[in-house]
Structure 1
């Protein structure tokens, strides 16, 4: 790892992790989806979470098609992100796949009432996507910075904070993720194998 160029190291690592994701065989992927959902629900019950924020998994992302229905069944209230211009994110309730539409990034987004980042202050847990994370809880996103900007605002709020949990395939927890000043750590790394407390 070139510590003098964390941005370059991140680009290389993103490419490596994306390729490894695409190469996961169907059986392994589905087994990990099932285990990941169980771990997330376990965390919801542990925290007695009534409202959580999450993400709509793309075909190669952890969680699979059963992720959001399971979270909604376990909590009753799930918020999903909506990508806005200049890296901003809004949040709206997930009301099922029939109440979704493709957003600007071609990712399904909820069509309900939108709120800004302060909606996350009403959440008990925020489940975050990433390509990887290190054992200290610093995640490697896709590089656009949407989540880091949102989490920075959240951290500055003088209010009780939700638990931040990144959801990853087992092999995506790696010591190689470099840390820059704008990176925001999570509290828990969720993998099929375990809930890793940071």
Structure 2
């Protein structure tokens, strides 16, 4: 494609990009101690989510950088006998899945990610989860989540919707990342809850299979 050409950028794209940049700038100012302390509290709050407490299988992810930390939560769920699925990034940005078997079974992959070293279960494995914990940068009062823009979880949510599965969708965030509005697009699926260090925040979000 010639330099300087490409698909037009919509106002929604621009607004999302600006919001992403603002939130990432705030996260970048967090210290490692801040992130570690938040991860412990976030795990405690997440385990108060009834859907998570009752789940037999949870799709989650390993946090990177200054994302709200997930390792204490992964360990807690694994210790309780919950089957925890973690994403494995594919070359086309889609996600495969593998079971979490402890921090000693995580290996470094591209882009600074940590991935399970066990058998790959296929992209459809996520449809078997009772709860899907989504990474994000923000969520608004309607449950619209702002992702990083890579499109990986758009595919995951589309796959879940097409399968007719009904997992509870939740996003893990810092408290300041509950915002007034996230620019929405037709394919966006709202989450039912956000978990932050201050507690659980509920939204009136229909499950994926109810949306056309």
TM-score (norm 1): 0.89
Is 1:153 aligned to 2:149, yes or no? no
Instruction: Give 2:76's match in structure 1, choosing from 67, 70, 78.
Output: 70
2:182 matched residue in structure 1: 177
How far 1:60 moved relative to its partner?
A: 0.5
Per-residue CA deviations over 1:77-108 (Å, capped at 9, x if unaligned) read: 11000111222110000111221222233301
Distance of 2:105 and 2:31 partners within structure 1: 31
How far 1:70 moved relative to its partner?
A: 1.8
RMSD across aligned positions (CA): 1.9
> 1:47–1:96: structure 2 CA closer, same or farther, 3 Å change rule?
closer
3-state SS, counterpart of residue 127 of structure 1: strand
Moved over 4 A (4+): 25-28, 44-47
| Higher radius of gyration, 1 or 2 | 2
Structure 1 range deviating more: 136-145 or 65-74: 65-74
How far 1:32 moved relative to its partner?
A: 2.8
1:144 matched residue in structure 2: 150
> 1:89–1:47: structure 2 CA closer, same or farther, 3 Å change rule?
same
1:89 matched residue in structure 2: 95
> 1:44–1:99: structure 2 CA closer, same or farther, 3 Å change rule?
farther
* Structure 2 runs not aligned, ≥5 long: 1-9, 204-212
2:169 matched residue in structure 1: 164
Higher relative contact order structure (alpha carbons within 8 Å, sequence separation ≥ 6): 1
2:15 matched residue in structure 1: 9
Distance of 2:132 and 2:119 partners within structure 1: 19
2:108 matched residue in structure 1: 102
> 1:177–1:38: structure 2 CA closer, same or farther, 3 Å change rule?
same
Report 1:17-36 matches (<5 A): 17-25=23-31, 28-36=34-42
Distance of 1:93 and 1:17 partners within structure 2: 30
How far 1:46 moved relative to its partner?
A: 5.9
